[in-house]
Structure 1
């Protein structure tokens, strides 16, 4: 079991995702419930707030484990939290293939921080679209990443 993710990262996820107790489709069309939980979600599904909390804890623990596996340099709890929010939203594969991770693992922490703003697009109705919610989320993640 990995250490829990910092509370500031959980706050970013909760603010960015919003709480939905009935399944919905996110802007990219993926069935989601709770605070952005997607695994096994079926449209029409309903959950309790307690289940949403459990999903969030599990999703963030999984994201943090991916961060712990991929990052090869020392990072702070805030950096781990920012990256965990990023992974929960975009998946470990996107972090693994990113310039953000490459720069971070080269100890270019400032350069890595500057990469968050590149991840603000989703495919909506077949079109690559900048989403204001992602702009706000990436800015919050970058700010947390840069907080000692």
Structure 2
């Protein structure tokens, strides 16, 4: 069993109320059981919501108190992102899941590359908050570009 970012499965939970449905991810659901997770909604953020990015670091820095998640309106949503990450981890643990497929570049789910924190559309090296927490807890993280490793 895998946990998968809800938006990749076609759920309208993306910050703008849309989805990031991915045909390869949907194909994966035909051969493996999956549970959907959306860390941002699990952190009690509404949909739609202003886009958010990590300032001054990445998800590991957020978990260690060295960086913040701030939305485009300047509101600090760090606590909501951390809460959503821990709620996601609880879902994964309760279901005995050891691997997840998460949305790339997201401040929650990004793996390896995330937005820079200045809402320019540029990317920097780093992980999102949920990805960082999963990695710290031995959960293998893939993004939608790595589905081939799971098929």
TM-score, structure 1 normalization = 0.28
Higher strand share: 2
Higher radius of gyration, 1 or 2: 1
More helix by share: 1
